[in-house]
Amino acid sequence: MQKRKLGMNGPEVSAIGLGCMGMSHGYGPESDRKKMISLIHAAIDRGVTFFDTAEVYGPFVNEELVGEALAPYKGKIAIATKFGINMEGGKQILNSKPDNIRQSVEGSLKRLQVEAIDLYYQHRVDPDVPIEEVAGVIHDLIHEGKIKFWGLSEAGAGTIRRAHGVQPLTAIQSEYSMMWRSPEEELLPTLEELGIGFVPFAPLGKGFLTGKINKNTTFVDSDFRSIVPRFQPENLEANQALVQLIAEIAAAKEATPAQIALAWVLAQKPWIVPIPGTRKLERLDENLGAIDVRLTPDELRDLNSALSKIEIFGDRYPAGSDYAKRAGK
C-alpha cells in the first residue's frame, strides 16, 4: 500500500482510507457488527491505515464499531472522527459551542478506545460560533493531548483561512469526484497554498460511478440517496453519459469503472487521500486496486477535457435542505 502525507505536518496514512459511515448509517439498515469488524480487519491486512467515522453516525454506533475493530491496532492506524452535530428530537442540530466540543471529545475518546484522536474534524461549520473560537478550543485540546490534528468538513475557503490562522489545519474533508468537481475552483488552490491535506468523501459519487446504478435502481427510505436529486430516475438516466465515459476508459486500462474513478481522484494531487466506503470485501479489494491504475498526464488531460463536456444533472443535496445550507460555509 502506498502512503501519503496529510498536510505539511500531518500524519502519513495509506493512500486510500476507509470511510466507515455506511456500515451503520446513511445507506440503509445497519450491517452485522461482526461482519463489519472482519471487513475493517481485512482492510488493515491489505495496508489501510486511515479510518473515518463521526459522533453523529448512528449516533455513536459507528464510533463504537470502529473503536472495537481497531482496539488491537493502537499506534499502527489513524482514526478520524467529527464533532459539531447533535441529534435532538430526531433532527441534526449544529453545535460547536466550546462546552459541547469538550463533551464530544470525551465521548469519542471513550467510544474509540483511544487516549488521543488522530484527526478531529468540525463536521459542519456552526454559524453561531466564530470559527476562531472553535480553533481556540481545538488548540487547547491538542495541548492537553486529547487530539493530535484537526480539520474541517465541507467548509468554505474563507472559514478555512480564519481557522488555520488560529490553529493550523491538517486536512479538509469534502465531497469530490468526477461527478462533483466544485472543489477545484477555490478549495483545492486554497489547500495547496496553505499546505493542508484533502480527504474526499464520496469519491465514487455515492456509488454512481461504479456503473452499477441506473434509472431502475431503488433506495430504501433509510438510504440517504432516496432524497438526493442526483439519484432521481430522470437524473440517473441523464448522467449515464459520465458512466459510459468511465467504462470506456476502464476497458482500455483493464480496470473497473470504480478503479478509474478513484485513480482519477488520486492523480489530482499527491496530498489527496480519498475514503471510499463499502460493506463488502470484494468492493474493498476493487477499490484498493485503484492504487495500481496509472493515468498518464496525457490520459488525465484527455479525460478532464471529456469530463468538461459532460453536464451533470441533479444537485447533491435537496434544494433548501439543511444539508445544502451547511455546505461550503
Angle between helices 61-70 and 98-112 (to 10 degrees): 40
Query: Which amino acid is it at 175?
Result: E
Give the per-residue pLDDT at 90: 87
Question: How confident is the model over 72-90, as a mean pLDDT?
Answer: 95
Neighbours of 157 (CB within 10 A): 18
Q: What is the pLDDT of residues 120-160, one digit of tens each?
A: 999 999 999 999 999 999 999 999 999 999 999 999 999 99
For the chain, domains (ranges, CATH) are: 3-207+258-293 (3.20.20.100)
What angle (nearest 5°) sits at the alpha carbon of residue 62, between those of residues 57 and 66?
145
3-state helix, strand, coil in the chain (%, to 5): 45, 15, 35
Mapping DSSP to helix (H, G, I), strand (E, B) and coil, where does residue 115 land? coil
In 3D, which of 153, 240, 233 has the Cα closest to residue 200? Answer: 153
User: CB within 8 A of 266, min separation 6: which ones?
Assistant: 15, 16, 272, 274, 290, 291
User: CB within 8 A of 310, min separation 6: which ones?
Assistant: 241, 242, 245
Is the confidence at residue 206, as pLDDT, over 90? yes
Question: How confident is the model over 20-39, as a mean pLDDT?
Answer: 95
Q: What is the pLDDT of residues 256-277, one digit of tens each?
A: 999 999 999 999 999 999 999 9
Question: How confident is the model over 88-104, as a mean pLDDT?
Answer: 96
Per the structure block, which three cell numbers stand in for 284?
A: 474493498
In the chain, % of residues over pLDDT 90: 98
Question: How confident is the model over 194-216, as a mean pLDDT?
Answer: 96
Give the per-residue pLDDT at 248: 96
Give the per-residue pLDDT at 151: 98
Q: What is the pLDDT of residues 162-172, one digit of tens each?
A: 999 999 999 99
CA distances from 321 to 79, 83, 156, 293, 316 (A): 29, 20, 18, 37, 11
User: CB within 8 A of 228, min separation 6: which ones?
Assistant: 206, 314, 315, 316, 317, 318
Question: How confident is the model over 81-110, as a mean pLDDT?
Answer: 96
Bridge partners of 152?
122, 172
Question: How confident is the model over 253-257, as a mean pLDDT?
Answer: 97
Q: What is the pLDDT of residues 33-57, one digit of tens each?
A: 999 999 999 999 999 999 999 999 9
Is the confidence at residue 202, as pLDDT, over 90? yes
Q: Give, as one character, the DSSP assignment of residue 77.
A: S
- Residues forming the active site: 57
Mapping DSSP to helix (H, G, I), strand (E, B) and coil, where does residue 303 land? helix
pTM: 0.97
